[in-house]
Amino acid sequence: MVTAIILSGGIGTRMGTECPKQYIEIEGKPILWYCLLTFEQHPLIDRIFIVATSVWQDYIGEIVRDLEMKKFSGFADAGKSRQQSIYYGLLKVEEAGEDDDIIIIHDAVRPCVSSKLLSDCIYMIKDADGAMPVLPVKDTVYRSLDGIYITNLLNRDEIFAGQTPESFRFRKYLAIHKSLSEEGLASVHGSSEVAFKAGMKIQIFEGDENNYKITTPDDLEKFRQQIKCKK
């Protein structure tokens, strides 16, 4: 059993719009629609849960019906932090009663996720507790303790930028979250961070440059042009 948790609870403050960016329409479809389509069509994904604030769940329900999704299994309410939202999603999966082997976590604002990336997430976890796509860092990387002067130079060959989707052994990942306080969850910066710190073995594999996160108006325009070119 492979279950996906789609994180759609963000409010998109850096976009400068009243509407959260995952609900901005591109060519007549909200950004979330494009993300859900890839997950719904993937043959190895069995179930999909969506984490979102309650005020948007009816709207998302319309997207689910438009896509005629058969894998949609329910909502989880968004938490105060991204990691708390993940935890609420994990609890919904637990409530469903299945002893899921693999959980996949993905940000709704990465709508260009490919079927290959999802497959890699599932296959790469074979000999590990989790798997995460990464990109090599192309620029020289410096460290500064005070933000003013260079403290030291980091080896960019050893530095990678993480992406979602990320996959984990469900029971191990859930147990970690149950052991953390709300403050502990709020201090987490990435899905794999909490797993790595708890001793889970995380496999990294080649990510996808096109699997970018829509954060700024420039990102939004880039995605808009990509969708236009496909039509």
Question: pLDDT tens-digit profile of 69-107?
Answer: 999 999 999 999 999 999 999 999 999 876 668 999 999
Instruction: Summarize pLDDT for 13-28 with one digit per residue, the tens.
Output: 555 567 899 999 999 9
Between CA 103 and CA 91, with CA 52 as vertex, the angle to 5 degrees is 40
Torsional sign, CA 12, 18, 22, 24: negative
Closest C-alpha among 135, 107, 102, 136 to residue 119: 102
Instruction: Summarize pLDDT for 37-71 with one digit per residue, the tens.
Output: 999 999 999 999 999 999 999 999 999 999 999 99
Determine contact, residues 45/39, Cβ cutoff 8 Å: yes
Terminal-to-terminal C-alpha distance of the chain = 34
Torsional sign, CA 16, 84, 80, 161: negative
- Give this prediction's pTM: 0.93
Q: Where do the domains of the chain lie, and which CATH numbers do they carry?
A: 2-230 (3.90.550.10)
Q: Is it the case that residue 231 has pLDDT exceeding 80? A: no
